[in-house]
């Protein structure tokens, strides 16, 4: 979740989206931005209906054409001609890999990474870069990341994985960008205990955790 000037932007809506919004006492949702179409990043989209009700307006949803196609298929009831009262209300906006865009008044720079063979979007927002579900970042896309002060990057586990960075790979990537602070996310239970793993990591790099908050450019 990113908050700026009283507006709220959320990246992805996983299965526990509702729980996360309640935990953080989020009162509004101005934009929902998707990285890709996998269910662990989209399953909670139905729960935008509560924000539709309280804000009395549709939610602005940003995604690539491919992700939109998947959302239309998996949430088909939202897009039927005869809308049932109370279903989620949304407006789609198409993300172009190569173009910056604004959502909820916040400028986002898409970063195209690979999740095995599936293109996934990371995002740079000012001095903050968020990348999830990746095991390769093309050299051309790395140029968009250099200079980042806070980097959030996926690190699934220690063992090699077909579509995610391992802990060792994520450390190598983080060292390349030299952000002031790097947090690893999308961590599996196979990684080990949080505090023990943190002791192994280089200075400026640590595992993220639920409820982590930080200020960018403040």
pLDDT in tens, 151-194: 999 999 999 999 999 999 999 999 999 999 999 999 999 999 99
Structure tokens at 211: 């409820």
Q: Are residues 88 and 9 in the same domain?
A: yes
Of the three residues 80, 97, 114, the one that is the final residue of a domain is 97
Q: Residue 79 falls within a domain, yes or no? A: yes
Does any domain span residue 7?
yes
**Is residue 84's pLDDT more than 80?**
no
Is 214 within the bounds of a domain? no
Q: From the CB of residue 166, how many other CB atoms can be counted at a distance below 10 Å?
A: 17
Domain final position from 47, 72, 97: 97
37 occurs within a structural domain: yes
pTM to 2 decimals? 0.95
- Torsion 103-175-149-197 (CA) sign: positive
- Residues 19-75: tens digit of each pLDDT: 999 999 999 999 999 999 999 999 999 999 999 999 999 999 999 999 999 999 999
> Are 150 and 71 within one domain?
no
Report whether 121 contacts 115 (CB < 8 A): no
Q: What is the CATH number of the domain that holds 76?
A: 3.60.15.10
Give the model's confidence band at 218: pLDDT under 50 very low, under 70 low, under 90 confident, else very high.
low
CB 180 within 8 A of CB 149: yes
174-191 per-residue burial string, b: 16 or more CB within 10 A, e: under 16: beebebeebbbbbbeeeb
Quick one: 136 and 152 in the same domain?
Answer: yes
Structural domain including 175 reads: 105-209
Count of structural domains within the chain: 2
Q: Is residue 38 part of a domain?
A: yes
**Of 63, 97, 131, at which residue does a domain stop?**
97
Residue-wise pLDDT for 117-127, tens only, equals: 999 999 999 99
Both 57 and 1 in a single domain?
yes
DSSP tag of 56: T
Q: Are 46 and 75 in contact (CB under 8 A)?
A: yes
- 3-state secondary structure string, 79-131? HCCCCCCCCCCEEEEECCCCCCEEECCEEEEEEEEEECCEEEEEEEECCEEEE
């Amino acid at each position: 979740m990113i908050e700026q000037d009283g507006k709220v932007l959320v990246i992805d809506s996983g299965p526990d989206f509702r729980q996360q919004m309640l935990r953080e006492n989020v009162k509004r949702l101005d934009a929902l931005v998707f990285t890709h179409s996998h269910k662990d990043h989209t399953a909670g989209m139905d729960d935008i209906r509560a924000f539709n009700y309280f804000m009395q307006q549709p939610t602005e949803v940003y995604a690539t054409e491919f992700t939109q196609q998947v959302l239309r298929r998996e949430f088909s009831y939202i897009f039927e001609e005869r809308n049932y009262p109370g279903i989620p209300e949304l407006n789609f906006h198409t993300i172009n890999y190569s173009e910056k865009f604004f959502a909820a008044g916040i400028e986002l720079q898409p970063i195209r990474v690979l999740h095995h063979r599936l293109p996934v979007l990371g995002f740079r927002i000012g001095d903050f870069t968020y990348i999830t579900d990746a095991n390769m970042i093309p050299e051309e896309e790395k140029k968009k990341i250099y200079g980042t002060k806070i980097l959030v990057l996926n690190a699934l586990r220690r063992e090699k994985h077909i579509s995610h960075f391992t802990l060792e790979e994520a450390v190598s990537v983080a060292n390349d960008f030299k952000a002031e602070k790097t947090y690893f996310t999308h961590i599996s239970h196979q990684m080990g205990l949080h505090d023990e793993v943190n002791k192994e990591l280089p200075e400026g790099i640590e595992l993220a955790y639920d409820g982590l908050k930080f200020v960018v450019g403040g």
